[in-house]
């Protein structure tokens, strides 16, 4: 039986009826059309589906949409503003931290969460902060440099 849930995604309120067996990742991508959130492994290993749920980054493939009732969610689409890209997004572009781009939304959201909570992370903290996000192009060093360039 479908359940009616409410959530705020990127400051916009949504009310949707969802089947209990729908994951948050599928809801965001296929029902709401926010395809910046990627699906890689679908088992919580790769981090491509990272979203920020009530202030904490999570694998949205391992959250049921019904569990996100009343949640506040941030996806990669919520980062840029009318003024342009978020500083982290800009840094990823400038440092060549994007190859195929599939891990990028998750990487940037993990990095954003890290910098929001700890504006001046050490090298080890940056590496730990993105350790739940796999890059199959193995461009980790450029990603690290992009994040490092935006810390205060």
Partner 1 sequence: MLLPKFEFHEPESIEKALALKKQLNSGARFLAGGTDLLVYLKKKIVSTDHVISLQRIDGLGEIQENESNLFIGACTTMAAISRHPAVLKRFCALKSGADNMGTHLIRNRATIGGNVCNASPAGDTLPALLVYDAVALVESPDGKREIPLTDFFKGPGKTDLKNDDILTGFRLPYPPDHSGAHYIQLGKRKSAEINVVNAASFLTCEPGTSNILSARIALGSVAPTPIRAPEAEAALMGRTAGDDTFNAAAETARFKDCSPIDDFRGSAAYRRAMVGVLTKRTLAEAFDQARA
Residue 48 CA to residue 60 CA, distance in Å, equals: 9
Among residues 53 and 76, whose Cβ is nearest to partner 1? Answer: 53
When asked if residue 86 is in the footprint of partner 1 (CB under 8 A), the reply is no
Site for partner 1 in 33-52 (CB under 8 A): 42-45, 47, 50
Min. distance of Cβ 16 from partner 1 in angstroms? 15
- Cα–Cα nearest to 114, from 127, 101, 103: 127
- Judged by phi (left if over 0) then psi (alpha if -120 to 50, else beta), residue 75 lies in beta
Name the residues that contact partner 1, by CB under 8 A.
Answer: 1, 3, 19-23, 42-45, 47, 50, 53, 56-59, 61-64, 66-67, 110, 128-129, 131-133
């Amino acid at each position: 039986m479908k359940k009616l849930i409410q959530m705020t995604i990127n400051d916009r309120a949504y009310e949707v009826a969802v089947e209990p067996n729908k994951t948050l990742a599928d809801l965001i991508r296929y029902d709401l059309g926010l395809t910046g959130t990627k699906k890689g492994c679908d088992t919580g290993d790769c981090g491509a589906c990272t979203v920020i749920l009530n202030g904490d980054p999570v694998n949205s493939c391992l959250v049921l949409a019904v569990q996100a009732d009343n949640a506040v969610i941030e996806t990669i689409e919520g980062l840029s503003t009318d003024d342009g890209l978020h500083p982290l997004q800009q840094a990823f572009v400038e440092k060549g931290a994007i190859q195929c781009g599939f891990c990028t939304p998750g990487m940037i959201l993990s990095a954003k969460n890290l910098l929001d909570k700890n504006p001046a992370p050490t090298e080890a903290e940056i590496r730990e902060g993105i350790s739940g996000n796999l890059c199959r192009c193995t461009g980790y060093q450029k990603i690290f440099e992009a994040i490092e360039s935006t810390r205060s």
